[in-house]
């Protein structure tokens, strides 16, 4: 009985310990930790608690702490398990903490500690990923990263000689050789398959999907083939059912309906006149013009950013590859963004860096944020403050400013300790910090915004102009717009170059078109010329802009047109009217649309639900079906298609009931309507057509 009570009491104590939760708190800018009862466990003495990837947790009575920008391990007894000597410190499950520290003045290396701070894997690697009882490690060797696998005693399971390794669950690894082929290995380092796989998914329901020659197959954990690699897609449902889909059929078809090439792939998109993006399952690659793989379908995303350089995502990590699928930047980043001519690279828990297209890291440290300002300059943020780095990664303006604007002629508007000033790229103050926001206009003048006025000043302090109204800045002058419609063009010497005055008592003035500006006065509309002189009296209910010497006007609820001489060229007979283009205008009456010419003659009868002008034709819509008419009003294709897209060469891609084909501009069939998707490749002067396959359930033996 006594033993039973001791067991129960011990179990209750353990349960309480297991249930205990911790959270951080901040006091006087320092971070500490409390338990779920509010008791202080670790006093607020640190810059941060938790882990450098931003996560907070307590693992085996220890957590991470940061002092003077470096990380260490501390336990719940407030004892330092390690010094604060690590650049990064990330808990990776179990007893494992992955750390990165400085080895010498230019080198950082990664290793693995246990919860007692003991080194399990020495600091000799450029990167480590913990996976179960093993660690995937990599080092840079001759400008290439080489991957291997070790145990927690740093005993090699697979040597550092492979192009890439990623886990496929707890017991299998996908290992890629220098030829880009993948084999499966078990946790003992023994091969399960040969190097014959292009790519492979993680295991799910004891099966993995493999890609070979742009097709998919299925293998089990022993590497045995369960489905041959001949499918477009294979999916495994939550209840273990397997669904297969044969490849979609893509064809190159000319304007004589002759199939020139054919390929089976999920998706195909023209990249340029020499290559294509293609997709197999959930992975993308690049094909050449003969549909041979330049880059195999190994990536969740591939994007060409310059000649022979592609951003790619693999296993949710971002990297950079070349046109031969060579790794330029390893897949170790959470984000890679192209800001021509450099890359902005981000790692969680570390920050942003600048990298060039050869893979060289340019910035000597990481930042909270990096944004492109110009082609040569980048805004950087560190510890909540902003600065500027150049295209060589040098911090030319230190991170001491509250905010920083885009440089203008070598001058930069900044906010510093709550005040506003202007500096040059050498951090010299051109305008010392003061109370009002500033904007650099050019090398000679700047704008100061006070509550009631904006002042244009020289850098010697001379006021050249001031205004409470809207200002628009140009290279040689600026435009001031007053509420009454007056526009002044002013030089930066403060001299008014040109002034446009609207008619007296004008309520509103619109933008200029063909030398005329619409205006509203006493609730009625008319036109003035560019100098503000009344040209067409304000007698209309509403107006449009002048185009081709005519402007739509509304009178007594109907639309017509006037010419530049204030003559009614077309009487107000329409419910709506567009401006003229190519000698015609689209008009409507009783919700039906048509087209008229400049003397009011009917070009297209008012019988359509919608008429839209295109470059050389009218798109006609009737009962949700589309057709075409030429600009002379001849109906060339009666409205009978769901969609019509001009393809060039006197051809139109037409679709109806989810099937597409090609007809001539006169409606004659060229390619039958049997395809699920159809596009025209102008670079190759050919149609790319897709036939989709159907999904079916497959029963395995």
Strands 351-355 and 342-347: antiparallel
Q: How far apart are CA 627 and CA 607, in angstroms?
A: 13
Of 4-8, 133-137, 237-241, the least confident: 4-8
Give the residue among 405, 403, 431 at the shortest CA–CA distance from 416.
Answer: 403
**What pLDDT sits at residue 137?**
97
142-179: pLDDT as tens digits? 889 999 999 999 999 999 999 999 998 778 899 999 99
568-584: pLDDT as tens digits? 999 999 999 999 999 99
Query: What mean pLDDT do residues 405-409 have?
Result: 93
**What pLDDT sits at residue 501?**
76
Q: Which helix (H) or strand (E) holds 98?
A: strand 97-102
Query: What mean pLDDT do residues 504-520 have?
Result: 86
Q: Cα torsion at 449, 450, 453, 456 (round to 10°)? A: -40
Q: Provide CB contacts within 8 A for 384, sequence distance 6+.
A: 368
74-121: pLDDT as tens digits? 999 999 999 999 999 999 999 999 999 999 988 999 999 999 999 999
**What pLDDT sits at residue 78?**
94
pTM of the model: 0.61
Contact of 184 with 177, CB cutoff 8 Å: no
Give the residue among 659, 642, 661, 641 at the shortest CA–CA distance from 651.
Answer: 661
Q: How far apart are CA 99 and CA 632, in angstroms?
A: 75
* Rounded percentage of the chain residues whose pLDDT exceeds 90: 79
Strand order in the sheet with 534-540: 508-513, 516-521, 524-529, 534-540
Residue 306 has pLDDT above 70, yes or no: yes
**596-628: b (≥16 Cβ within 10 Å) or e:** bbbeeeebbebebeebebeeebbbbbbeebbbb
9-68: pLDDT as tens digits? 444 344 444 558 999 999 999 999 999 999 999 999 999 999 999 999 999 999 999 999
**What pLDDT sits at residue 15?**
42
**What pLDDT sits at residue 5?**
42
Q: What is the DSSP letter of 362?
A: -
SS3 4: helix
**What pLDDT sits at residue 7?**
43
Show the beta-strand stretches assigned E in 177-316: 182-186, 199-200, 207-212, 215-220, 225-231, 233-236, 242-245, 249-253, 259-264, 267-272, 275-280, 283-288, 293-299, 301-306, 309-314
450-475: pLDDT as tens digits? 999 999 999 999 999 999 999 999 99
**pLDDT band at 214, cuts 50/70/90?**
low
* Rounded percentage of the chain residues whose pLDDT exceeds 70: 97
**What pLDDT sits at residue 119?**
96
Q: Which residues pair with 700 in a beta bridge?
A: none
246-298: pLDDT as tens digits? 888 999 999 999 999 998 888 999 998 889 999 877 889 999 988 889 999 88
Q: Cα 113 to the chain's mean position, in Å?
A: 37
**What pLDDT sits at residue 9?**
41
Give the residue among 138, 144, 149 at the shortest CA–CA distance from 174.
Answer: 149
Of 130-134, 393-397, 563-567, the least confident: 130-134
Q: Which helix (H) or strand (E) holds 6?
A: helix 2-19
In the chain, the largest separation of any two C-alpha atoms, in whole Å, equals 113
Q: Cα 372 to the chain's mean position, in Å?
A: 14
Q: Cα torsion at 428, 434, 437, 440 (round to 10°)? A: -30
421-447: pLDDT as tens digits? 999 989 999 999 999 999 999 999 999
| SS (HEC) of 587-647 | EEECCEEEEEECCCCEEEEEEECEEEECCCEEEEEECCEEEEEECCCCEEEEEEECEEEEE
Contact of 387 with 394, CB cutoff 8 Å: no
**368-392: b (≥16 Cβ within 10 Å) or e:** eebebbeeebbbbbbeebbbbbbbe
Contact of 81 with 375, CB cutoff 8 Å: no
Q: Which helix (H) or strand (E) holds 67?
A: strand 62-67
Summary mean pLDDT of the chain: 92
Of 197-211, 438-452, 539-553, 611-625, the least confident: 197-211
**What pLDDT sits at residue 506?**
76
């Amino acid at each position: 009985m006594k033993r039973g009570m001791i067991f129960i009491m011990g179990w209750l104590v353990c349960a309480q310990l297991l249930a205990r939760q911790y959270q951080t708190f901040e006091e006087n800018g320092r971070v500490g930790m409390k338990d779920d009862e509010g008791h202080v466990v670790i006093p607020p003495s640190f810059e941060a608690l938790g882990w450098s990837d931003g996560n907070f947790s307590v693992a085996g009575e220890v957590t991470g702490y940061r002092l003077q920008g470096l990380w260490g391990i501390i336990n719940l007894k407030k004892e330092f398990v390690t010094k604060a000597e690590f650049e990064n410190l990330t808990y990776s499950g179990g007893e494992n903490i992955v750390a990165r520290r400085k080895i010498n003045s230019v080198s950082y290396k990664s290793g693995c500690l246990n919860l007692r701070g003991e080194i399990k894997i020495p600091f000799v690697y450029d990167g480590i990923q913990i996976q179960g009882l093993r660690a995937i490690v990599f080092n840079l060797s001759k400008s290439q990263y080489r991957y291997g696998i070790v145990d927690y005693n740093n005993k090699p399971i697979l040597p550092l000689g492979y192009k890439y390794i990623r886990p496929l669950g707890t017991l299998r690894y996908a290992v890629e050789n220098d030829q880009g082929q993948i084999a499966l290995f078990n946790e003992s380092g023994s091969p399960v398959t040969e190097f014959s796989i292009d790519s492979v998914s993680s295991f799910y329901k004891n099966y993995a999907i493999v890609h070979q020659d742009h097709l998919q197959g299925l293998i089990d954990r022993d590497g045995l083939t369960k489905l041959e690699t001949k499918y477009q897609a294979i999916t495994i449902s939550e209840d273990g059912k397997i669904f297969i889909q044969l490849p979609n059929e893509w064809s190159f078809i000319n304007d004589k309906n002759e199939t020139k090439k054919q390929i089976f792939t999920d998706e195909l998109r023209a990249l340029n006149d020499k290559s294509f993006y293609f997709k197999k399952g959930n992975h993308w690659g690049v094909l050449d013009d003969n549909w041979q793989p330049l880059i195999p379908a190994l990536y969740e995303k591939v994007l060409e950013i310059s000649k022979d350089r592609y951003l790619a995502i693999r296993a949710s990590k971002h990297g950079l590859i070349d046109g031969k699928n060579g790794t330029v930047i390893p897949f170790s980043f959470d984000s890679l963004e192209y800001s021509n001519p450099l890359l902005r690279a981000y790692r969680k828990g570390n920050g942003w860096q600048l990298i060039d297209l050869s893979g060289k890291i340019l910035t000597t440290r990481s930042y909270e944020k990096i944004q492109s300002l110009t082609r040569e300059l980048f805004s950087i943020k560190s510890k909540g403050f902003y600065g500027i780095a150049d295209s060589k990664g040098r911090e030319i303006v230190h991170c001491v400013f509250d905010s920083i604007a885009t440089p203008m002629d070598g001058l930069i508007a900044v906010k510093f300790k709550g005040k506003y000033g202007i500096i040059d790229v050498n951090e010299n103050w051109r305008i010392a910090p003061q109370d009002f926001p500033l904007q650099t206009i050019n090398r000679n003048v700047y704008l100061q915004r006070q509550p009631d006025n904006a002042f244009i000043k020289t850098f010697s302090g001379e006021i050249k102009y001031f205004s409470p109204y809207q200002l628009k800045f140009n290279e040689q002058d600026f435009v001031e717009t007053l509420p009454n419609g007056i526009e002044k063009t002013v030089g930066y010497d403060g001299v008014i170059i040109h002034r446009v005055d609207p008619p007296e008592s004008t309520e509103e003035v619109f933008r200029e078109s063909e030398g005329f500006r619409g205006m509203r006065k006493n609730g009625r509309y008319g036109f003035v010329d560019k100098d503000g002189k009344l040209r067409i009296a304000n007698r209309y209910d509403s107006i449009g802009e002048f185009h081709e010497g005519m402007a739509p006007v509304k009178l007594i609820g109907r639309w017509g047109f006037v010419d530049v001489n204030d003559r009614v060229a077309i009487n107000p007979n329409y419910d709506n009217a567009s401006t003229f283009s190519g000698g015609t205008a689209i008009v409507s009456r009783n919700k039906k649309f048509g087209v008229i010419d400049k003397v009011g003659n009917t070009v297209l009868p008012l019988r359509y639900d919608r008429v839209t002008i295109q470059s050389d034709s009218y798109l006609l819509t009737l009962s949700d079906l589309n057709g075409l008419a030429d600009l002379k009003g001849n109906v060339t294709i009666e409205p009978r298609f769901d969609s019509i897209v001009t393809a060039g060469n006197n051809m139109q891609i037409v679709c109806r009931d989810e099937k597409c084909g090609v007809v001539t501009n006169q409606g004659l069939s060229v390619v039958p309507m049997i395809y699920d998707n159809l596009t025209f490749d102008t670079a190759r002067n050919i149609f790319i057509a897709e036939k989709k396959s159907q999904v079916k359930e497959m029963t395995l033996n």
